Structure 1
Amino acid sequence: MNSRDQKYIAIIDQDKVTDEVRNIAVKYDPLNRSGHEGFHVTEDAELHIDDVNVMREHKLIEKKIPNDAIKIVPLPSETGQLVHQYGENGFRMYDLPIPEDGRIIGLLGPNGIGKSTVLRILAGKLVPNFGTTNGELDWNQAIEAFRGTTLQTHLERLRDDSVTISYKQQRVDSLHEANAETVSDLFVARSDDPDRFVDDLDLRSIWDRSLADLSGGERQRVAIGATLSTDADLYLFDEPSSFLDIEQRLSVAQTIRSHVQETDAAALVVEHDLATLDLLSDAIHVLYGEPGGFGVVAQQLAVRTGINQFLDGRLKEENVQIRRNSIDFPTAGERGVQYGDPVLDYPRLEKSFEEFSLTVESGQIHTGESIGIVGENALGKTTFVKLLAGSVEADERTVLGEVTVSYKPQYITPDSDETVRERFTAVADLHSQSFTRRIQDPFELEPLYDRSLGSLSGGRVTAYWDCTLSCTRRRSLSPGRALSIPGRQSTCVPRR
């Protein structure tokens, strides 16, 4: 990227802004000197400059300002070794992490930034093209590009098929498509010691169960166990904590760590749960860039340092601002939410299945209220939600209320070639200010509009579903009519 194309933003610590700071910033701003608006003082006496007006020349002002009151930092740009590009104008991946024997390296970054692409390359499932989108690909080009680095050895072993890799992919909803009927069949096919991880991952009770009948958490634990059961040189885990409750995340992390240390194998983990990532990893790489546009693997950092810099939105060693704002977690008292009238009343409900029964005590849901459902897997959380949504009927009493209930299922399988734009057009007015403010901008949908639903990454599929259901919630339905949302086990039912 040409240095003139580099974008910058100004970080201003208003607590450190004095009259001296204001005078220097306004006086020496090259935009102000040329008759344009740069740094200026607002009616609230705060120093301000619009992000779009910040440029490299403003770093000269930064050097004149005392007490680090102003910092001019670059926004993410395409930098490093271009490793892979999807199509002529497609997503571009820069640099790769290096597997290390006996250590677990974490990958942290937003969805659509290339984490799964990195794993696929290191697993040998994707040959990097280094930006060449036409022509035959081979590992020799990759080896030459990383000659003299530790990564060269791994790539040579991929070429020579002399490295064993065990890869737990992101999606576990297709686990039943494996060449096995039951959980035990899968483990027996993977290992000479199929019983090794059964107790560590609490699989004994489902050992003889069909893979097709497993819950999300059970599928995840089975997939992790099957991955660990393979005697491998490199283990790759793409989001191992999804679908798992808190206790299971702890036991899974401990099991993975123990196995990697005992075997002196290398491991890479993609994980969004920061507590799990902290527990699992020996070091991490933060990935930054433009989701769906390009991704950059930053240099390796200590776990706590990397997580804190990711939350702050600035990588100090790279001197790059990866996000305009930091990620903060407000307490319940800071949210200042006031709940309205009850929108849904539900009585005491009971639902019995062949091997499981659930009892739900009566309750209410109020306008503006978000209720969390916490509990171990297989205790009925999903069944409870389905009872409220109407996709499962209670044994006797039913949920009443004049309200439309939108339900996002646990498993999301968007196999359609339909584009995101086409699907949203069917349920919302894309040109309305309400849609732009509530849905499009917060979920960063605009870059996805021309993508097919089947091409979206796991996180972006989930975002699409969340947005679709948010749109659905505003639709008026005639009494007794159900709105079908495409996908597995999905319902949107008007309650009467």
Structure 2
Amino acid sequence: MTKRIAVIDRELCHPKKCGHECQRFCPPQLTGHKVVEFGDDGYPTINESLCIGCNICVRKCPFSAITIVNLAEEPDEAPVHQYGPNSFRLYRLPMPRRGKVVGILGRNGVGKTTALNILSGKLAPNLGSYDDPPQWREVLRFFQGTELRDYLERVASGALRISVKPQAIEQVRSMWSGSSVELLSRFDDSGRSRDLAKALGLEGSLERRPDELSGGELQRLAVAMAASREADAYFFDEPGSHNDVYQRLAVARVIRDLARSGKYVLLVEHDLTFLDYAADFVHVVYGRPGIYGIISNQMSLGTGVNSFLEGYLPADNMRIRDTPIVFDLRGVSEAVEASPPVVAYTQIEKSYPGFRLTVSEGDLRMGEVLGIVGANALGKTTFLRVLAGADSPDSGSVYMTAKISYKPQYISTSYQGTVEEALSGTAGDSWSAEPALSSVVRPLGVDALLNKSVSKLSGGELQRLAIALCLLRDADVYALDEPSAFLDVEERLALARILQKYSRDLGKGIVVIDHDVGLIDFASDRLVVFTGEPGRRGQASSPMGKRDGMNAFLRELGVTYRRDPSSGRPRVNKPGSRLDRYQKEIGEYYYLAPAEEGEEEAA
């Protein structure tokens, strides 16, 4: 039997500004059934058991605030948690494993953080009874006969010591006015804080206050605070954000060390490379963002990520995407190699007090994506600003015969208007016509945000809007600084496809700085590799073929990748494994032929 979920977005709903079309045009309502009723707060509620799923209210709502989902595939059991009437609900929970890192993979808004909040004891599951929440004994009865029952019993009784690294790390800035080392010491009841600070590269940052730290430093401080507590279970919600590849690997090693000590560790992360390096098992969370989420059965890491990319979960017999995602193993096309440059530059030097950047000569060709990789504080953003004309080099020249559109690393929320108004202000009416609508606006999901105020967008929504505004400007070169920040894995892969289309189909030149190796691998044709000493000196290579560039970059990291035989995606070899040792011996850190599943596991 088909079930229905009706969700009303109260941020978009404006009952005082409409004619209550959701109620006036509802067919069962017109025959006397109370399907849509307005409460004392003025907002409507929809009775899901009486709703016939006609979607007339969805089409008639002038603010696009209503979503009706007909779910033949909805689980037969009650939701684990529902936030209220006509609101998000989550089905099932991940299963923690002692001594293992369990990853949670899925889109933003499908319940990953909700699942962590329940398993960490921060949120008591209501089993869908939001108006009359059940007692813990009823919740435990609901999970009777499952592996989760014993774990949740310890959570309910308070017998499980729990440490959480939250997703919203900005709260760390306001929670302490003293030095970061003093704050870290307050959380350290295990005596590990000094070793953790060293492992996470924080030794030079701890004398400063939390509000003086960069985003990456603050993220690693939050990781150190959580890891320094003596606990039985550790929860890390997007610990890789704001960090470069070097720092992400350091965070991943800290997380793996906690699991090796016999602890429960759960990890939410959108960077597939990070997840590959840190996790042992994975749950895929699927559903409709903001509407519902379903936790899949637990899978081995390789099987789970491949199933996610394939878009089909065999154990759940569920298709979560119409088409599979396959990584492109080809190098630079002959057409791109023969294309004239749209940007060329001589050797460039740019200095600031205490820092010097040197860039080897190079160019950007029509129809290519030029990826830029390297650690933080080596001058990547400075290089992009010089190319975009926002900064002038001290020596050297940039030759450009094209207009450039630049998306900065940090995005302002000061715009006072709706998303639709922002799009119109940048692209006029063209954003709502082809090809902009099908090639940018819809793939980025910006069409679902049109009535939202820009100042109230989440980090991921604001990033998607900023990318769309950059790509919708009339330009020949598009420069994007860390576009994957705050995006979930689906959105990152969609972005990679968009960049490929813009470059190859439309003949545009694109430059991308990012720390997500999977995104760079998927989208780029050539690479510029930054090396040096962070904060003091940076050296940028000339553009290289992707194979040579990735080998040079990963040699600096001391990490090897192999190709997955199913999807072609890059996967991190376990340190010290047979493949890791072999690839280092032959100098192939990145482009060894696809390996059979499991070859890398033997240490």
- Settle same-fold status: TM greater than 0.5: yes
Aligned to 2:299: 301
1:2 and 1:305 mapped to 2: Cα distance? 30
Residue 275 of structure 2 is matched in structure 1 by: 277
Q: Per the alignment, do residues 76 and 251 of structure 1 end up closer, same or farther by CA in structure 2, a change over 3 Å counting?
A: farther
Give deviations 1:171-230, integer Å, cap 9, x for gaps: 446653341544323322221433121222222233324434444443333322222112
Q: Which amino acid aligns with 2:231?
A: A
2: CA distance between counterparts of 1:107 and 1:470? 31
The answer to which of 79-88 and 133-142 deviates more is 133-142
Q: Tell me by how many angstroms 1:268 deviates.
A: 0.8
Q: Which residue of 1 aligns with 2:448?
A: 447
> Alpha carbon RMSD of aligned pairs, Å?
3.6
Change (3 A) 1:4 1:89: closer
Amino acid at match of 1:208: E
Partner AA of 1:93 in structure 2: L
Aligned to 1:320: 318
SS of residue paired to 2:336: coil
Deviation, structure 1 residue 302: 1.5
Q: Provide the rounded CA distance (Å) in 2 between the counterparts of 1:163 and 1:417.
A: 46
| Bigger mean CA deviation after superposition, 83-92 or 107-116 | 83-92
Matched, 1:111 2:112: no
Write the distance in 1 (CA, Å) between the matches of 2:133 and 2:209. Answer: 42
For residue 301 of structure 1, report the CA deviation from its aligned partner.
1.0
1:100 aligns with 97
Q: 1:382 to 1:327 in 2, by over 3 A?
A: same
Give, as a single letter, the amino acid of the residue that structure 1 aligns with 2:388.
A
Q: Is 1:78 aligned to residue 74 of structure 2?
A: yes
Distance (whole Å) between structure 1 residues aligned to residue 415 and residue 73 of structure 2: 33
How far, CA to CA, are the matches of 1:173 and 1:351 in structure 2? 32
Structure 1 residue 328, shift from structure 2 partner: 0.2
| 1:109/1:287 contact within 8 Å kept | yes
Q: Separation in 2 of the partners of 1:4 and 1:234? A: 36
Unaligned ranges ≥5, structure 2: 6-70, 477-484, 486-603
1:468 Cα shift? Answer: 2.3
In the TM superposition, 1:235-314 aligns within 5 A as: 235-262=234-261, 264-314=262-312
Q: CA deviation at 1:346?
A: 4.0
Q: Which amino acid aligns with 1:218?
A: E
* Paired amino acid for 2:441: Q
Aligned residue number for residue 371 of structure 2: 372
| AA of the residue aligned to 1:376 | A
SS in 1 for 2:466: helix
The residue aligned with 2:19 is none
Match of 1:167 in 2: 164
Partner of 1:31: none
Shift of 1:115: 1.7
Q: Which stretch of structure 1 is more off in the superposition, 121-130 or 365-374? A: 121-130
Structure 1 pair 473–425 and aligned structure 2 pair: CA distance change class (3 A): same
Give the distance between the partners of 1:344 and 1:364, measured in 2 at CA: 5
Is contact 2:336–2:365 with CA below 8 Å preserved after alignment?
no
Q: Is residue 2:357 matched to residue 1:361?
A: no
Structure 1: how far apart are the matches of 2:106 and 2:446? 18
Give a deviation string over 1:315-371, Cα, whole Å, max 9, x none: 111111111111100123486753644333445433333432222234332332211
Closer, same or farther in 2 for the Cα pair 1:169/1:352, shift >3 Å? Answer: farther
Tell me the equivalent position of 1:185: 182
Give 1:460 deviation, angstroms. 4.1
- Describe the SS at the equivalent of 2:197: coil
Q: Distance in 2 between matches of 1:90 and 1:419?
A: 23
The one-letter code sitting in structure 1 at the alignment partner of 2:324 is: S
Distance 1:347 1:243 in 2: 31
Aligned residues of 1:111 and 1:460 also touching (Cα < 8 A): no
Q: What's the CA shift for 1:296?
A: 0.8
Q: Secondary structure at the match of 2:80?
A: strand
Q: Distance in 1 between matches of 2:354 and 2:179?
A: 18
Cα shift at 1:295: 1.6
In structure 1, distance between residues paired with 2:282 and 2:470 = 34
Q: Which moved more, 1:138-147 or 1:440-449?
A: 138-147
- Structure 1 residues 272 and 154, CA, compared in 2 at 3 Å: closer, same or farther? same
The 1:247–1:298 alpha-carbon spacing in structure 2 relative to 1, beyond 3 Å, is same
CA 1:199 to 1:89, structure 2 compared with 1: closer, same or farther past 3 Å?
A: same
Deviation of the 1:95 alpha carbon: 1.1
Aligned to 1:471: 472
| Residue in 2 that maps onto 1:332 | 330
